Amino acid sequence: MTSQAQRVCSTASQNSAQLSQPSLQLSSSNNNVPAEQVITIPVVVHVVYNLAVENISDEQIISQIEALNADFSKTNSDFNKVPSVFAKYAASSNIRFELAKTNPMGQTTSGIIRKKTTRMMWTDDDKIKYEANGGSTTWDAKAYLNVWVCNTVPGLTGYATFPGGQQAVDGIVVRYDAFGTKGRLMLPFNKGRTLTHEVGHWLGLKHLWGDQTCGEDGIDDTPKQRAGNIGDPVFPRTTPCNTSPEGEMFMNFMDFTNDASMGMFTEGQKQVMRNQFSVSGSRNTILKSRGLSEAWNNNVELNVMPVNTRDLVVYPNPVNRSTSTIRLLVNTPINANGKHFAIISSNGQIVKMGHIQEMQQDIDVQNLTPGMYSIRLTDSESNSYTKFVKN
């Protein structure tokens, strides 16, 4: 890829149905999270690689987290490139990001998951978010920001889910060579701005032009824009849609310009992002995450509390050898949708892990040997289990 490469973000097309829902309409008011409160988000990075070059280093991942924090706090070293007419609208979001310290099962983690796959490239179809497809299973999206780093199909730089979508696929996908500021990177996406842009979407921001010609994003302090700007525009950038002396805000992180031409979020965008953490916001549960806490369960045998069988049921139970799947019925009092499960043998070994997507979840047990097993539901706040027998 050369410096003529163009940013492609498929977030809007992937989330078009969600964008029409009232819960995702953007607003810069009714935020009950104090402006001075620093919101820290636990991040898990799933590195899904086929070739060794795609298995990016810890150093490259850390450089991306550092770049993300600089961009969201308005401490990015190139902020001085933002023209003064727009710099006065720029804001520090008071939102920070850290690699997770504890996984959903309460065990110590580096916040980095590495999965080798036979798949050479990934599209924006969300298959990378499932281990069954050769990807890596989503961690509890109510408690973590999930980021998948992989080799995407040519032309796709990244995409994200908007707030309020399906927990099983919630998160962000970014090309491995457009991630971070160190390592083997693809010009002109070498300053970590692809993830900055996609996190903006994950926190409710639209593209500046609202993905419509001469459109807008619903935020007062971002000017109307003809479409996505590419490359490295020269200020002022005027178009028939914006003939003001200042022109379009092409240096905003939610445009399509090269990394070197980006540099700011506005105060209005800050308010939209922080609104997601209000009591009624779609990202509010992140505030209760234990992903940055000290591990509370580093033993293989989980310390769990059984639940009433009316709330958690496995059937058929016992499971015959000819039965390939069981159904886990989880009633609403446990609220398991979006959590993980672990199947543990009688000797304390975890033999299978997965993600709860529905309140009636089918689980493949064909390869389990006969014996007694427990199924444990785990999240960042509580644990519960039930037992079953395979004959």
pLDDT at 18: 57
pLDDT at 248: 97
What digits encode the pLDDT tens for the residues 51-109? 999 999 999 999 999 999 999 999 999 999 999 999 999 999 999 999 999 988 788 99
pLDDT at 354: 85
CA dist 348 and 76 (Å) reads 48
Do the Cβ atoms of 236 and 245 come closer than 8 Å? yes
Q: Backbone phi, then psi, for 95, in 5-degree steps?
A: -120, 130
Residue 330's SS3 state is strand
Length of the chain: 391
CA dist 111 and 127 (Å) reads 21
CA 374 vs. chain centroid, Å, equals 30
Assess whether 98 carries a catalytic annotation: no
* C-alpha distance from residue 266 to each of 42, 90, 229, 249, 366 (Å): 24, 4, 18, 10, 54
pLDDT at 317: 81
Positions in the chain whose pLDDT score sits under 70: 1-4, 14, 16-31, 297-312, 330-338, 358-360, 379-383
pLDDT at 379: 60
Question: What residue ranges define each of the domains in the chain, with the CATH number in brackets?
Answer: 11-288 (3.40.390.10), 305-390 (2.60.40.3080)
Closest CA to 171 of 50, 48, 30: 48
Instruction: Point out the catalytic residue in the list 54, 198, 294, 301.
Output: 198
pLDDT at 22: 44
Q: pTM of the entire structure? A: 0.77
CA 254 vs. chain centroid, Å, equals 17
CA dist 8 and 194 (Å) reads 10
